[in-house]
Structure 1
Amino acid sequence: MNIDTTLTSTTSPPFFQRILTGLFLMASLTASGLAQAETLHVYGPGGPAPAMKALASAFSKEKGIDVEVVAGPSSKWMDQAKQDAHVIYSGSENMMLGFIKALDGQIDENTIEPIYLRPSTILVRKGNPKKIQGLRDLAKPGMNILVTEGAGQVGMWEDAAGRSGDINLLKGFRGNIAEFAANSGLAKKSWLEKPELDAWLIWNHWQIDNPEIADAVAVEPELTIWRATGVALTDRGEKLPAASEFVAYVKSAQGEAVFKQHGWKR
């Protein structure tokens, strides 16, 4: 074999072009794979979603990392979350415990952290035609109350009325409950469809984020219930630096300001 001829044939421009083309394709595929891996998947209930989605959008613009927030009843997203969730947020500590079980241990319990609180509030019809001034008024005869008995509000109405230490207040309130909704989304649907409902005991942000459907009346301070939204990383999320970055962003001063706009506080 002629060595000069061999060297010439293997070092010709076409040979190098093939090498460069291959390297370029490999780099493109790698970049594409990294971009896909950097899509951050966040799941949780609808209540904290407006604030969480606003922060996800801001984080994406600042960091160049795609964040997909899927919110609503867990029955709608749990199966997918088992496949790709990096971050889980909740509407109460009780809810987070349920997520731990539902996700088959994928949540690292050491990463669970309550981050913001919001208070219970009474939503009333626009103009407050029944002149409701607080929760005690809801125990009076003739009131039709809507409550959520599920999701992040399990037992909330009972805790609120029961904090009075007055069994008659609890009896009166219980007797005026016209509907128990399984979650806040279904409660909102009932509120819109059933004008005979006079009051809706719910978290304050449901009126803040939907001011056109109701006015808000504060619950008496001694009867107000506070519950938190918390965040947690899945095992998958712990392997993705962007997940921890996003959680830190949600807890930052900027995150606090956004949540405050939606009725939450530290």
Structure 2
Amino acid sequence: MQTGKKEEGKRQKEESTEQVEGRKKEGRARLLALLPFSLLLFTFSLLLSGCTKKDAAGPLLCHVGGTMRPVLEKLAGLYEQETGQKIEINSSDSGELLAHIELQKEGDLYVCHDPFLDVIMKRGLAVDGWTLAEISPVILVQKGNPKNIRSLPDLARPDVQLALTDPNASTLGRMLPTIFAKAGMDLNALMQQKNIIIHRSGSYVANLLQMKSADAALVWGAVAHLRAKDLDSVPIVPEHLPVPDVDAVTSATGKTYTLTPVRVTICSLRCSDQPRQARAFMQFVVSDRARAILEEYGFGVSERLRRQEYLNGRPLTPPRVRQ
């Protein structure tokens, strides 16, 4: 009798174990059945979040050559006020910025002066490009012009401390031998006769005058315009300036560039992940309203100059790089 009860209990225990195992298997089966749906739901949520991030425009990164920084900061501020689109400005020497873009492949827009638009397009790093304005050199002097500097030959006087941009490292510097030659002067001989301060940055040599460390300098008119409260500028007579679209200079890389007019340009970058927003800001920068602001900041503007130079990487006008 007791043996029968033990066998019955054993059988019930085995059945109970089988039921538990059965429920476990059933639960695992249900989990496996739901897994594809869960993965699909998870994937959909990732895609949805990705679309939201892509649609929400972030700040545009605009690389800007130093001479153009103040006016681009003004334009970027106006654009952000009107559209809500933030523009971040990264400013340095135009050539240094080109090297940064090529190496890092980051940013949305590039504002520079000649010859860098043609160079960046030739390297396949930009899409569309426009000319905004032009820049021309002037003689920057102390307020009131105490040294009575009227023309380039006055810069050779021993009582004039002269500051110039580097003939080997800046666009204006490369123009200087031609400019001085047209005034009947040999720049190399002058640099041997006088202790001339040389720096690659026009803003730097202009600041030397503000600090009373120099009497005169050759800088872009836009650089002089920013310092009009503290310094004066003397125009260079047309006879001493390079002939537009004729005079050229050969750089250290062996490429020949047309010297004048020196264009201020803007282009959209291929590495941009917001091409539509970049194009919209570029259209604002080439608008009539922006043109008036560029003129206000000392840039030369005209309908002849303001034009699209490149479309989808293809030139619409002859490039300034001759070889």
Cα deviation for residue 241 of structure 1 reads 0.8
Which consecutive unaligned segments of at least 5 residues does structure 1 have? 1-22
Q: TM-score, normalised by structure 2?
A: 0.62
Q: TM-score, normalised by structure 1?
A: 0.74
Cα deviation for residue 187 of structure 1 reads 2.3
| Match among 55, 78, 102 for residue 34 of structure 1 | 55
| Match among 31, 45, 59 for residue 79 of structure 2 | 59
Contact 2:60/2:88 (<8 A) preserved: yes
Cα deviation for residue 198 of structure 1 reads 1.3
Bigger RCO of structures 1 and 2 (CA < 8 A, at least 6 apart):
1
**Aligned residues: CA RMSD:** 3.2
> Is residue 116 of structure 1 aligned with residue 138 of structure 2?
no
Which consecutive unaligned segments of at least 5 residues does structure 2 have? 1-43, 243-260, 302-323
CA distance in 1 between partners of 2:176 and 2:164 (Å): 7
Contact 1:123/1:214 (<8 A) preserved: yes
Q: Which amino acid aligns with 1:86?
A: D
The residue that corresponds to 1:233 in the other structure is 268
Q: 1:90 to 1:134 in 2, by over 3 A?
A: same
Contact 2:143/2:232 (<8 A) preserved: yes
The residue that corresponds to 2:69 in the other structure is 49
CA distance in 1 between partners of 2:118 and 2:285 (Å): 21
SS of the residue 1:132 aligns to: coil
Contact 2:141/2:231 (<8 A) preserved: yes
Q: 1:257 to 1:201 in 2, by over 3 A?
A: same
Q: 1:90 to 1:190 in 2, by over 3 A?
A: same
Contact 1:118/1:265 (<8 A) preserved: yes
CA distance in 2 between partners of 1:132 and 1:251 (Å): 37
CA distance in 1 between partners of 2:177 and 2:71 (Å): 28
Q: Which has the larger radius of gyration?
A: 2
| Match among 200, 204, 220 for residue 182 of structure 1 | 200
> 38-47 or 143-152, which moves further after superposition?
143-152
Count, aligned residues: 236
Q: 1:172 to 1:76 in 2, by over 3 A?
A: closer
Q: Which amino acid aligns with 1:124?
A: V
The residue that corresponds to 2:227 in the other structure is 210
Q: 1:83 to 1:107 in 2, by over 3 A?
A: closer
Deviations 1:65-115 (A, max 9, x none): 11112212354895478342111111222x4456568xxx4522x623332
Higher helix share: 1
